[in-house]
Amino acid sequence: MREVRVDLGQDRSYRVIIGSGILWQLGRLTKDIKGQPKIMLISNPLVFDLYGAKAVDSLRGAGLTVNIALMPDGEEYKNLEQLQLMLDEAARVGLERSSVIIALGGGVVGDLAGFTASIYQRGIAFIQVPTTLLAQVDSSVGGKTAVNHPRGKNLIGTFHQPALVLIDTATLDTLREEEFRAGLGEVVKYGIILDQNLFQLLEKEAQGLLKREAEVVQEVVYRCVRIKSQIVAQDEKEAGLRMILNFGHTFAHSIEKLGHYKEIKHGQAVAIGTLMASILARNMGKIDSTQLSRIVHLFRCLGVSLKVPDYPAQMIYEGMLNDKKVKDEGLRIIVPQGIGGYDIIYNPAPDSIIEAIREAKDYPYGCRYEALND
């Protein structure tokens, strides 16, 4: 079992506990931090069928009262209507200021449950039990909560840090292959810009990771959480530093939007965005061709497709400008500086971005990838 502490001062620091097969400890850990709270556990039917009994048994075994609230499975349910239903349920079962909401599921459940906890009675305690790779290495740590609005993804939300994050990496065994690989997009992201050792570990253990070997998965998740928590501790509300975690994301968001959030998974779009930003970096002399090849090769070994969807480069670029923050503050692109370092490019020349997108579309490995891995 490993542990990371998210250091946010006396009131809001919390533990992230990482291990394989540790879900049964949820009850004891909840009691350790909150005493004897009433619990509302939020999940979806798929995840609850797999892990609900274990989580609930552990909580009840520790003498806690547990209410269960399920939301339908899918990003389209991360909305205000479901938020309202969760608040209704919280009120109906009589959650109090001392109560705890637990999220058991991926990023969708985590974001909605966290939002519910952050506004019910002006904010009650919240525990994350993430069960997807993306949620374990990214969304469960850092306190961002949100629901989508017809006019924008994650348009409505709050910052509300969890009181505890319990990561049972064994839950990843049941994750669909495409979900697992999409999560790897975020994992590689950390390695490229922030941790050369993680990047090397991924190169060395790619096969074990793909086979989801317990030791390898646990180590990789631990390293990612450690990076994320360090960044969050320094810049909780994304006033500056935290934005570097958006590496690859400016490209990715545009690609996801062009596909109406249906054609491509977020993590996969991030991998493609990462390739585009890395090509830009190579063109600017911030990484060399060998380093770019290593990045592409790693994605390939991890079975992450880099095939760019068939949208014109110009459209992808225009989509990147179509963001409120970009309109206010100008475009900022995070690029790698060597492996394990980063730089921020402010207001890059349009042609340089369009060229990087075009090159990513033509990148030989990107195109041949699927044939190689099938």
**So which residues are the catalytic ones?**
122, 144, 186, 228, 238, 242, 246, 249, 253, 266
Among 30, 44, 116, 229, binds ligand NAD (CB under 6 A): 44
Taking CB under 6 A as the binding criterion, the range among 131-139, 216-224, 272-280, 325-333 that sits at the site for ligand NAD is 131-139
Does 347 engage in binding with ligand NAD (CB under 6 A)?
no
Does 219 engage in binding with ligand NAD (CB under 6 A)?
no
Instruction: Say which amino acid occupies 1.
Output: M
Does 136 engage in binding with ligand NAD (CB under 6 A)?
no
Taking CB under 6 A as the binding criterion, the range among 119-127, 174-182, 213-221, 289-297 that sits at the site for ligand NAD is 174-182
Answer for the pair 88, 76: CB distance below 8 angstroms, yes or no: no
Smaller CB distance to ligand NAD: residue 131 or 305? 131
Taking CB under 6 A as the binding criterion, the range among 55-63, 89-97, 100-108, 345-353 that sits at the site for ligand NAD is 100-108
Answer for the pair 200, 160: CB distance below 8 angstroms, yes or no: no
Taking CB under 6 A as the binding criterion, the range among 72-80, 158-166, 294-302, 304-312 that sits at the site for ligand NAD is 72-80
Among 179, 235, 238, 263, binds ligand NAD (CB under 6 A): 179
Q: Is 119 helix (H, G, I), strand (E, B) or coil?
A: helix
Among 128, 131, 218, 305, binds ligand NAD (CB under 6 A): 131
Instruction: Say which amino acid occupies 273.
Output: G
Among 71, 102, 135, 137, binds ligand NAD (CB under 6 A): 135
User: Between helices 364-373 and 289-301, what is the axis angle to 10°?
Assistant: 20
**Distance in Å, CB of 142 to ligand NAD, minimum:** 5
Task: Give exposure, 217-233, as e/b (b: 16+ Cβ within 10 Å).
Answer: bbbbbbbbbbbbbebbe
Task: Give exposure, 349-364, as e/b (b: 16+ Cβ within 10 Å).
Answer: eeeebbbbbbbbbebe
Residues 272-301 that bind ligand NAD (CB under 6 A): none
In angstroms, the Cα distances linking 170 to 17, 50, 127, 198 are 13, 12, 18, 21
DSSP 8-state assignment for residue 153: E
Does 73 engage in binding with ligand NAD (CB under 6 A)?
yes
Taking CB under 6 A as the binding criterion, the range among 61-69, 90-98, 106-114, 193-201 that sits at the site for ligand NAD is 106-114
Answer for the pair 126, 113: CB distance below 8 angstroms, yes or no: yes
Among 36, 84, 98, 174, binds ligand NAD (CB under 6 A): 174
Does 138 engage in binding with ligand NAD (CB under 6 A)?
yes
Number of residues near ligand NAD (by CB under 6 A): 26
Among residues 151, 347, 135, the alpha carbon closest in space to that of 221 is found at: 135
* Per-residue mark of binding to ligand NAD, 149-168 (x: CB under 6 A): -----x--------------
Among residues 287, 290, 246, 286, the alpha carbon closest in space to that of 269 is found at: 246
In angstroms, the Cα distances linking 158 to 112, 118, 122, 133, 139 are 10, 7, 12, 23, 13
Residues near ligand NAD (CB under 6 A) are: 44, 46-47, 50, 73, 75, 78, 105-109, 111, 131-132, 134-135, 138-139, 142, 144, 154, 171, 174-175, 179
